Structure 1
């Protein structure tokens, strides 16, 4: 036996002796086996810094709940929009339909997937690209640019006009059957191409497939309304808005947000993505005619600067992060000081890689989208703690809210969406004019926020 390449009896004996000779290891073992790693690593002094007290604090309606779906990016986007409706009409609360964009996202992602299959007919089935396309063609996740495309094309509707269904509250079954059907479509298209079927006939086949996709989605989610009646009453029970609207008309009238003014900024310190430049991700998107995504990569300090500026102007901020890292989920606390896993274990686990290394080695990426709605500032006006509206219902965290420490922001926030007016002139010029570097489809900056 090659003792240097195998785990030997002597290795095990040495490890056991080393472990049990240290009192701290035994204490850690007893605590962790009883209550779990994070509970045992919880630092009360760090937790104590996460009080719900903020210098800027935007008030929102009742908490929303994405339930058993990966629609966090939709909920976060709609929460930034419903905030405008609540303020504009002085409402107690208000909610936009999350089933409405879900329907059209699944429809558009199906078309996007099939178009990509048609575009890769000569690629090997077992190659990385086609294998990647087949992995998760219509998953629940997404990004801001994809939501913007949906709203630009289809608009928004009040929740009452397209309420939740069993399949929107829990998307697992619908996703599984739609994915299976689309993989079957990919098989038929590739086999037809190999048999000599021409491009026009393949496109006609795709159109029929999309008709089946529509059929499945209406069955699961109901038919999206083409128009609907609205009666909104304000806090004084006065009629604030009434009439018949199409979804696009309702967005223009009630939300009134200039979609193209809002841009996506990322912070990825990897060697292949120098700061101060623009990027896109190959084959990432949903609405075919609207194209894909576009990012400007900046230092975390710049993301904080523009987010703070937008909050000061009274508007919430969409952001994407790796929510599971250094997170006390039951308490809704994202804070590197609130957990000391490395101290508990006695060697670096959380500290074994920096931010760039975590991205390069597959340890971290954007998993969840939420909304910044407040911030605590120090004496110099710098942020120390951020208030976060989550989409996991009012019973999560503290009445549905989380907190996010500023050091956590540096490490695990990867994306914010702000009005481009908050960018510096040079940043704005770069975003608007530079030809973006195209990243591979599997790049971590192409990850889709979907955590639940």
Structure 2
């Protein structure tokens, strides 16, 4: 319930912004009371007269704040407008143009739209994988079915969750691991390795054969129903497992099968019956010359076309061979990382990352773009981004101008404090709704823009400095529809990439031998609640 607010007077807001920028806060030294924790005694230690918050102090701060005319102007501007509109900087948007000297010749179209769902990782995956199919069949426009993978991912995640619940039945229900599992049994989010598992087991189908249903585009209700059911099932499985009788194993298997059948029922009725991986489908289509074609293949055979397409994989690598490079400055570089109990397909490939510095990650991405290959990547898109202008730039917002505060944490510090993460957690991927898309264009509700809001997208171009060869800006293919950015594309500065990009997926042919060898080493196991365990 609620009523929509009237649009702010843009001319008035612009005038306020001009006046705000014309004034400057004078430096002043203000002593501030604070408290800290005595870690040895576990007691509060006061560094002021009293450890409690003083009402009189708040009154004094307010008087000091509003004594400055610049702050009174800021009050008028910020109370009536989105703060990001007020503090956005034109210095960031003017040079961020859609011109590049390295661009893949075939980006794929149309621009996709995940709507009100957290399927960004599946959209980024299918946006990458459709390119070789479009080349092979000479298609002008084409989409792979994201809902097809979405259906099977939900069912696989349900099975994964129930298996983890059985395996942790000896742990206390209030333990951190069990509570983390219960927190998000079947989130919309996922990782590249999870997508590879789905493609390997279920294949791919054209979007026209299994299009989005309402609940694929608006996944919240379906996810809530399945989550409630699985949490209820978890308590039943834990109870049976803890009884530990002679027939416990067979009883657990039978119970789990019934539970999965119930989840399958929910998915089928809300998404529609999906194609079967080994049943042939018939796909009628026109090529770019207007010639009619009919193709009959199984989803598994259709997916196999990707690995055999010379136009996509010059070295003949398979989709399953592609892997993730991440930049996690908390951990040693040139090491393999994995996340405990994170996955979707039981018995499938685990989620792993090779941790590298940003220069190594960028070099691999540039090599792939030069070879004409789009690049899946994961980033903390909620930071310094504006979907209306299609800008991702660390200079985009001037918080110091408005509040006289700076946000200066390093990449490592943001990870350690959960201010940033490489993949999206249990809710949904952010949509353009959260990044300043006008209300009339919104297709979904605004998500929680918390510290770990992140997003998977696709790189299709980069602009390199002609004299140094270093990247200046990157072209980003998004999945928020054509109304976001420049007809669905965004511009990411290289400085933004340094700070907020954590992952790129690479073909093994475009990295050095020393990196490929790391895949065969023992991985450092991160906790399930680690920021690197959040999902795109």
Query: Shorter-chain TM-score category?
Result: over 0.9
Matches within 5 A, 1:264-283: 264-270=324-330, 273-283=331-341
Question: d(CA) in 2 for partners of 1:415 and 1:184?
Answer: 35
Give the Cα–Cα distance (whole angstroms) in 2 for the partners of residues 53 and 34 of structure 1.
Answer: 36
Residue 161 of structure 1: SS of its match in structure 2? coil
Aligned residue number for residue 420 of structure 1: 508
**Within 1, Cα distance between the matches of 2:522 and 2:305?**
34
Aligned to 2:29: none
Residue in 2 that maps onto 1:356: 412
Contact 2:307/2:319 (8 A) holds in 1: no
Counterparts of 1:10 and 1:218, CA distance in 2: 61
**What's the counterpart of residue 70 of structure 1?**
118
C-alpha separation in 1, matches of 2:146 and 2:307: 15
2:193, 2:349 within 8 Å by CA — same for their partners in 1?
no
Equivalent residues in 2 for 1:221-370, closer than 5 Å: 221-226=271-276, 227-239=280-292, 242-253=294-305, 256=308, 258-270=318-330, 273-348=331-406, 350-351=407-408, 353-366=409-422, 367-370=454-457
**How far is 1:362 from its partner?**
1.1
- RCO (CA 8 Å, sep 6+): is it higher in 1 or 2? 1
Per-residue deviation, 1:3? 4.4
Contact 1:310 1:422 in 2 (8 A): yes
Aligned-CA RMSD value: 1.6
Pair 1:208-2:258 in alignment: yes
Distance in 1 (CA, whole Å) between partners of 2:205 and 2:92 is 42
**How far apart, CA to CA, are the structure 1 residues paired with 2:420 and 2:296?**
46
Q: Distance in 2 between matches of 1:55 and 1:30?
A: 44
1:177 matched to 2:177? no
Indicate the residue corresponding to 1:408 in structure 2: 496
1:373-392 correspondence runs (5 A): 373-379=460-466, 380-392=468-480
1:113 CA displacement: 0.2
Per-residue Cα deviation, 1:306-358 (whole angstroms, up to 9, x for no partner): 0011000001000000010011132221100122123332121x22x111011
Where structure 1 has 5 or more consecutive residues not aligned to the other structure, the ranges are none
* Contact 1:80-1:371 within 8 A present in 2 as well: yes
Q: TM-score normalized by structure 2? A: 0.80
Which whole-Å CA distance do the structure 1 matches of 2:152 and 2:251 have between them?
A: 25
Deviation at 1:238, TM superposition (A): 2.4
What CA distance in whole angstroms lies between the structure 2 residues aligned with 1:89 and 1:4? 74
- Superposition deviation, residue 261 in structure 1: 2.4
Aligned equivalents of 1:313, 1:428: Cα separation in 2: 19
TM-score (norm: length of structure 1):
0.95
Q: How many Å separate the matches in 1 of 2:386 and 2:61? A: 31
Q: Deviations over 1:104-125 (max 9, x none)?
A: 0001000000000110111000
Q: Greater helix share, 1 or 2?
A: 1
Question: What's the secondary structure of 1:288's corresponding residue?
Answer: coil
1:27 CA displacement = 2.9
Partner of 1:109: 157
Tell me the equivalent position of 1:143: 191
Tell me if structure 1 keeps the 8 A contact 2:200–2:320: no
3-state DSSP class of the match of 2:347? helix
Q: CA contact under 8 A between 1:56 and 1:375: conserved in structure 2?
A: yes
Aligned mates of 1:430, 1:214 — CA distance in 2: 38
Residue 55 (structure 2) pairs with residue 13 (structure 1): no
CA contact (8 A) 1:316 1:373 kept: yes
In structure 2, stretches of 5+ residues that fail to align are 1-45, 423-453
Bigger-Rg structure (1/2) = 2
Could you tell me which of 27, 46, 56 is aligned with 2:102? 56
Task: Kindly indicate whether residue 517 of structure 2 is the aligned counterpart of residue 439 of structure 1.
Answer: no
Contact 2:324 2:353 in 1 (8 A): yes
Q: CA deviation at 1:254?
A: 5.6
Higher deviation after alignment, 415-424 or 253-262: 253-262
2:207 aligns with one of 138, 143, 159: 159
Whole-angstrom CA distance in 2 between matches of 1:124 and 1:291: 28
